[in-house]
Structure 1
Amino acid sequence: MAAAKYHGVDLDIRDFAAEPGEDSPSPATLARWLNSQGLIAKGMRLKWRYLIRLYNSPPIVLMFKDGSAGLMVGVNPEKRIVFLRDPLKGEGEPPIPVEEIRLRQAWTGDILLVKRNKNLSESEDKIDFKWLFKMVLRERASLRDISISSMIISILQIFPAFIVMQVVNRVVAFQSMATLISISGLLIVLSFYEILISYARREITNVMATRLDARISIHTYNRLLSLPLEFFERQQAGRLIGKVSQIYQVRDFITGRLMTTFLDMFTLIVILPFLFYISVILAWLTVVAAGLIGLIVVIFIKPLTYYYSNRIEAEMTRGSAMYETVAGIRTVKTLALEPSRRRDWDNIVAEVCKWRLSTTRMQNWPETLVMPLDFFINRGIILIGAFICITNPTAGVDAGAIVAFMMLGGRVAAPLVGLAKLMTVITEVETSLVQAGEILNNPTETKALTTGLRPKIIGALSFENINFTYPGGSSRALKDLSFSIPAGTMLGLVGRSGSGKSTITRLLQGVSRNYEGFLRLDGVDLREINLTHLRRSFGVVLQDNFLFRGTIRDNITAGRPGLTMEKVIWAARMAGAEEFIERMPAGYDTFIEEGSTNISGGQRQRLAIARAVILDPKLMILDEATSALDPESEALVNANLERIAKGRTMVIVSHRLSSLVNCDQILVMDQGEMQAIGTHEQLLETCEIYRTLWLQQNRHVDERKHSKKNEAQKPVITEGT
């Protein structure tokens, strides 16, 4: 944090989540965290002789063997000492000079280089061919090595052709055994070097392809995570996944066909001049035939694009239907919807088959038209060469030249034909890129997640003339909402469905930021606060909570994997989950299946509450958090709410007014407007809406009390009265 502060970025250690199983954070873990916070960080291992040369560098983090770290703020190369400062102490503390021997005893050799990211545009770049080109260019070193090796291989491939030409023209013609032996030795040596360099090129190519694959996958996933929640709420999950998955089609193109064609082009550049040297006529025939192949492919690009687009759209619809069926399988089974789902699936599959067949038929035409030209390059050239050799002996085309041309011509024709056919693949890739871009090129939260203030959160809230309308909505969800509560307040939100209760919690979480007015947290405008810092300071429990596939302990510590077991037990106890966890066979190591099918809805809700409590947030939001609980569990959680609320602000949304009776303040909403705010007793007397809701939910209790009171007041009639 001290190194980040030097670059003007104020970090909060509570935002850091250690990797599971790490006793102390590694440089790689710290680098990933710092990179996510808007900095550029890189962990590396360094020797003393290189460390002491970093005298003009900003503060460098040195990792120590006991798990701690120090900040190197200066170097004196003449005296061979470095100056270290304790990052936990203030900047006014003088640095301590340390020589090599003392440093080696404590230093692991790992350092962390940190600098401010002045340009976050790369993570926001539009995903298109320009973006792909930048991705490839980042592998300049590998591209250089591949280019050099490809050039050498191409040159080595020339010699065997000329050697064979000499064998045909001289060795066979003059029966020279000595020449044959010397040529054979030369051919073996050249073949050995070609094999060796080819192996090295394949190794470099594989490494580069893997690095590109990893970079594209990571960039795509990070871009997806940086999209706002509002965007996901407007998208069909299956179609969204289908469109994003198209990026892997692009990845396969870059690391496969494009790379192969790129390497073949070196062969073309080097060998083509030698073809013209052997025979100008045959070389031009080869080039013209390959050009005609390219022309045929170009003609079919536009119709192929149309068919590819419709095929991809149909396939995404199929994927979406499959995802929807799997996600809603419980509803499908319980309502016996299998026949209707099968009918829908049959129609969708028929549509996919129609476009797939149409696409392959359209693709079959250029491939068929190209075949005669391809045959001409590989088979017809030798016949024309033989004809020239017979009819015009002075043309310089002899038997050896024909054999050499065939050896080299095949190597030249392949990249020319491959380059022409590549246009067809580019059409498909371009379509895939457009589909992925429809999702990934939407505005992200990257700037809000990596920049902004990081104030100490206490929990005081202030709404001033807040107006908010959902995207595409015709009416305002919140209208001139104004109220404020001090830190440590337990605030209840009540109202009929659609009154704006959940909208208030969305604004607090920063899910929607395009509101009018001022929403302040501890006096700071919410839109100026770093979004990651804001959300890590909140604990949120929703009506329908998602648990990840893993153990109960992993789910409770999802936001902070490094927390101790004592903390996990404390959070489970506060949420009322301890008793059912201890009854399970494996306790906290019980594995939760996908969809939480092996636990009840109430148990899932209590685990979600424990997951929110364990982060010790200063502000907690419970949006219908007890709606799925049975009366006993709800009473247990409500009894713990006062303990949970101690020292923090609570915002509780609930339709059950009985669970809000003990709130310090209750805000009554109706059609996006605030109707009243006060305690339970005050609202019963002053707010008609609250009194009506209370009577609707508790009329049976009041009637029972009233009947008991009437019976108690009845006169006792005795015999003889």
Structure 2
Amino acid sequence: MVSPADEDDPFEEQRERAENPMRRLFDEYGRENAVAFVVGIVSSVVARALDLLPPVLLAVAVDSIFFDERPFSLWLVPDARLPTTQVEQLYVATGLIALSFVGGAAFHWTRNWGWNSFAQHIQHAVRTDTYDRMQRLNMDFFADKQTGEMMSILSNDVNRLERFLNDGMNSAFRLGVMVIGIAAILLYWNWQLAVVTLTVVPVIGYFTYRFVQTIQPKYADVRSSVGRLNSRLENNLGGIQVIKSSNTETYESDRVDDVSDEYFSANWDAIGTRIKFFPGLRLLSGIGFILTFVLGGVWVLTYQQTGSAPLFFSGGLSPGEFVGFILFTQRFIWPMAQFGQIINMYQRAYASAARIFGLMDEPARIIEDPDADELVVDDGRVVYDDVTFGYDDETIVEDISFTVDGGDTLALVGPTGAGKSTVLKLLLRMYDVDEGSIEIDGTDLRDVTIPSLRRSIGYVSQDTFMFYGTVAENIRYGTFGASHDDVVDAAKAAEAHEFIQNLPEGYDTEIGERGVKLSGGQRQRLSIARAVLRDPEILVLDEATSDVDTETEMLIQRSLDRLTADRTTFSIAHRLSTIKDADEIVVLEDGRIAERGAHEELLGNNDLYAHLWGVQAGEIDELPDEFVERASRRASRAPIEGDADD
């Protein structure tokens, strides 16, 4: 049965692909932390064994010292080495009890160190590996996932693994030692009364099995609803300016309320099952304790009064053994109930591990040849040869062919959705071509390493992203070893130096989340300065002046002219005035090349380029009806892959 959450879980496909996620967690990450794991296990066993010693010594003291029911004896200690007077025997028993507490405290510390070290190191490794894998996935993967959903995996799911590896496994071994050790002691002391005590164990086991079967799909629903809640919150906080300017606070509060209510309902459903399970376990545990207390008490009293055993028992039961049974039964029954908590934590961790490893196993569309060579750009000549690319069954660009000689500038223009950005993202291998090839200086991009390819290309996007940090850190991003003088020179080349000097701390000014303290034009100039600092052999300008005013555009264009003078340059622009001096202009329409040539030549053709120029020149009344109709049809087709098909 598919749960409602599974139907719209963005990671359902990944989660179902993950096989034995918990076993894989230990295979891939547990081995390198084996020392801490062993320390945790050994310390758990020793600490719990020492915890069991006081009740055993108390039972011996009651029978041997206070009631004189049997001779004073201790396991593994020869009788000849034991004292003979009751006072000395009391001191020995007391000393051993004290030593067991001291030793237990020491081993409890090493136990906690072992499990915490084991869990923390795995948490760190899983989180960093998941992030590293995530950031290397194809761009189309991110088009289908929301930031909040991915943050939920990196944060909530990884943290749940840590809690199970630390608290859950720590408790599992601790309680396991307690249950096995106590059961062995009880069976050794009096197997008949031990059978009474252990009667409820199979019932508890079945009860726990039913709980696992019921709770597992409910925890999957909870994990999915958390991802949707995080996504809604992340979207709203990122768009707070739009929300305020649109006066839609109430509307957005209602939307948050809806997804929060989904999480509340899913979580409360799981809680409802959980809060029924644990009291049920305690009730079953209590029944075992009561049976032991009543039947054991009757046995002691009857044997003392008549010298025979009651009911179906045989032999005698001393007061010391009865006291030991009561103490151990309480320690035995409650741990059995706590196993439910461990199973509860395990189910949560399993659901999280499935999402994590499902994401790690997400296949990459772009696969680097293991024998790929480093790209060395000499001339910078770029050739597109019959390039075709699409998402799934939808073709975005088709039969694209052109050549850009080293040092030349090629401009890509066309209506929105024509495929301009996609053409250039293929050059960066954000995607791989479906047909045809792209070559730099005669080398196919698929034959070179991706890092060396992207080091050779400077990319200035229309979406200027700034990281939280200083101005200098954002300019230096990707060229981390650059000196301050180099940063200043790059800023001057991008016409950014003047406004940076006027900031409160100059180049050390914190610009806020996504550069919120800067204007769009200022962020754009920092993005250009970042590309300038890299000094790439090939430059890609994707609407590099889209967020600046006319005056700033003039300043940036002047610096770009200097920057592009000696390097191969690709430029996308809706403002055709910024690319009219390009060596060649390629006009795209519906993913195909409609025209190509120089600016004056294309104007003389009186076709698509000339009409786009006329739109920007304000000559709308002179445009042919056919162009207007085509523009209307294009505007009605909303892109579904973001700017990838621009």
TM-score by length of 1: 0.75
- What SS does the corresponding residue of 1:585 show, helix, strand or coil? coil
| Structure 2 residue corresponding to 1:317, chosen from 228, 243, 248 | 228
- Describe the shift of the 1:176–1:616 C-alpha distance in structure 2 as closer, same or farther (beyond 3 A): same
- What SS does the corresponding residue of 1:614 show, helix, strand or coil? helix
- Describe the shift of the 1:646–1:263 C-alpha distance in structure 2 as closer, same or farther (beyond 3 A): farther
Q: Report the counterpart of residue 717 of structure 1 in structure 2.
A: none
Residue 466, structure 1, aligned to residue 382, structure 2: no
Distance in 2, matches of 1:412 and 1:216, equals 35
Distance in 1, matches of 2:595 and 2:364, equals 37
Q: Report the counterpart of residue 189 of structure 2 in structure 1.
A: 278
Residue 141, structure 1, aligned to residue 35, structure 2: yes
| Structure 1 residue corresponding to 2:104, chosen from 194, 198, 222 | 194
Q: Report the counterpart of residue 65 of structure 1 in structure 2.
A: none
Q: Report the counterpart of residue 339 of structure 2 in structure 1.
A: 419
Q: State the one-letter code of the partner of 1:208.
A: F
Deviation at 1:579, TM superposition (A): 1.5
Distance in 1, matches of 2:257 and 2:369, equals 44
Distance in 1, matches of 2:104 and 2:190, equals 26
TM-score by length of 2: 0.83
Distance in 2, matches of 1:413 and 1:354, equals 33
Q: Report the counterpart of residue 72 of structure 2 in structure 1.
A: none
Residue 594, structure 1, aligned to residue 507, structure 2: no
Residue 517, structure 1, aligned to residue 444, structure 2: no
| Structure 1 residue corresponding to 2:22, chosen from 120, 126, 129 | 129
Q: State the one-letter code of the partner of 1:251.
A: E
**Kept after mapping to 2: 8 A contact 1:150/1:201:** yes
Taking the TM superposition and a 5 Å limit, the aligned residue runs for 1:555-594 are 555-594=474-513
**Kept after mapping to 2: 8 A contact 1:676/1:687:** no
**Kept after mapping to 1: 8 A contact 2:515/2:523:** yes
- Describe the shift of the 1:425–1:158 C-alpha distance in structure 2 as closer, same or farther (beyond 3 A): closer
Distance in 1, matches of 2:388 and 2:96, equals 84
Deviation at 1:307, TM superposition (A): 2.9
Distance in 1, matches of 2:348 and 2:45, equals 30
Q: Report the counterpart of residue 133 of structure 2 in structure 1.
A: 223
Q: Report the counterpart of residue 351 of structure 2 in structure 1.
A: 431
Give per-residue Cα distances to partners, 1:324-364, cap 9 Å, x unaligned: 21111111110111122122233333333333333222222
Residue 668, structure 1, aligned to residue 587, structure 2: yes
Q: Report the counterpart of residue 610 of structure 1 in structure 2.
A: 529
Residue 398, structure 1, aligned to residue 309, structure 2: no
Distance in 1, matches of 2:273 and 2:330, equals 28
Give per-residue Cα distances to partners, 1:131-167, cap 9 Å, x unaligned: 2222234322222233333333344344323321121
Distance in 2, matches of 1:214 and 1:439, equals 17
Identical aligned residues as a percent? 27
Distance in 1, matches of 2:192 and 2:222, equals 44
- What SS does the corresponding residue of 2:518 show, helix, strand or coil? coil
Q: Report the counterpart of residue 543 of structure 2 in structure 1.
A: 624
Residue 261, structure 1, aligned to residue 181, structure 2: no
Which moved further from structure 2: 351-360 or 161-170? 351-360
Structure 1, unaligned runs of 5 or more:
1-123, 704-721
Give per-residue Cα distances to partners, 1:426-455, cap 9 Å, x unaligned: 333333334445544322479539873212
Q: Report the counterpart of residue 53 of structure 2 in structure 1.
A: 159
- What SS does the corresponding residue of 1:539 show, helix, strand or coil? strand
Deviation at 1:266, TM superposition (A): 2.9
Q: State the one-letter code of the partner of 2:21.
A: D
**Kept after mapping to 1: 8 A contact 2:410/2:569:** yes
Q: Report the counterpart of residue 365 of structure 1 in structure 2.
A: 276
Deviation at 1:470, TM superposition (A): 1.9
- What SS does the corresponding residue of 1:448 show, helix, strand or coil? coil
**Kept after mapping to 1: 8 A contact 2:197/2:291:** no
**Kept after mapping to 2: 8 A contact 1:275/1:405:** yes
- Describe the shift of the 1:172–1:247 C-alpha distance in structure 2 as closer, same or farther (beyond 3 A): same
Q: Report the counterpart of residue 177 of structure 1 in structure 2.
A: 87
Deviation at 1:597, TM superposition (A): 2.3
**Kept after mapping to 2: 8 A contact 1:125/1:131:** no
Q: Report the counterpart of residue 547 of structure 1 in structure 2.
A: 466
Q: Report the counterpart of residue 685 of structure 1 in structure 2.
A: 604
Distance in 1, matches of 2:294 and 2:546, equals 84
**Kept after mapping to 1: 8 A contact 2:39/2:110:** no
- Describe the shift of the 1:697–1:615 C-alpha distance in structure 2 as closer, same or farther (beyond 3 A): same
**Kept after mapping to 1: 8 A contact 2:168/2:346:** no
**Kept after mapping to 2: 8 A contact 1:318/1:352:** yes
RMSD (Å) for aligned C-alpha atoms: 2.6
Q: State the one-letter code of the partner of 1:479.
A: E
Distance in 1, matches of 2:153 and 2:560, equals 43
Deviation at 1:272, TM superposition (A): 2.8
Deviation at 1:576, TM superposition (A): 1.1
- What SS does the corresponding residue of 1:300 show, helix, strand or coil? helix
Residue 335, structure 1, aligned to residue 275, structure 2: no
Q: State the one-letter code of the partner of 1:457.
A: V
Distance in 1, matches of 2:316 and 2:585, equals 101
Distance in 2, matches of 1:247 and 1:444, equals 22
Q: Report the counterpart of residue 233 of structure 1 in structure 2.
A: 143
Deviation at 1:419, TM superposition (A): 3.1
**Kept after mapping to 1: 8 A contact 2:387/2:434:** yes
| Structure 2 residue corresponding to 1:443, chosen from 363, 370, 381 | 363
Distance in 1, matches of 2:436 and 2:243, equals 45
Deviation at 1:528, TM superposition (A): 2.2
Which moved further from structure 2: 294-303 or 126-135? 126-135
Residue 502, structure 1, aligned to residue 395, structure 2: no
- Describe the shift of the 1:383–1:219 C-alpha distance in structure 2 as closer, same or farther (beyond 3 A): farther
Q: State the one-letter code of the partner of 2:271.
A: T
Q: State the one-letter code of the partner of 2:183.
A: L
Distance in 2, matches of 1:132 and 1:291, equals 30
Give per-residue Cα distances to partners, 1:193-247, cap 9 Å, x unaligned: 2222222222222222221222222222222222222211122222333344323
Deviation at 1:514, TM superposition (A): 4.4
**Kept after mapping to 2: 8 A contact 1:557/1:611:** yes
Q: Which has the higher helix share?
A: 2
Q: Report the counterpart of residue 118 of structure 1 in structure 2.
A: none
Distance in 2, matches of 1:126 and 1:645, equals 51
Q: Report the counterpart of residue 13 of structure 1 in structure 2.
A: none
- What SS does the corresponding residue of 2:478 show, helix, strand or coil? coil
Distance in 1, matches of 2:115 and 2:264, equals 36
Distance in 1, matches of 2:567 and 2:170, equals 57
Structure 2, unaligned runs of 5 or more:
1-16, 69-84, 303-307, 623-646
- Describe the shift of the 1:634–1:241 C-alpha distance in structure 2 as closer, same or farther (beyond 3 A): same
Distance in 1, matches of 2:449 and 2:214, equals 48
Taking the TM superposition and a 5 Å limit, the aligned residue runs for 1:635-650 are 635-650=554-569
Which moved further from structure 2: 166-175 or 645-654? 166-175
Q: State the one-letter code of the partner of 1:187.
A: I
Q: State the one-letter code of the partner of 2:603.
A: L
Distance in 2, matches of 1:562 and 1:219, equals 25
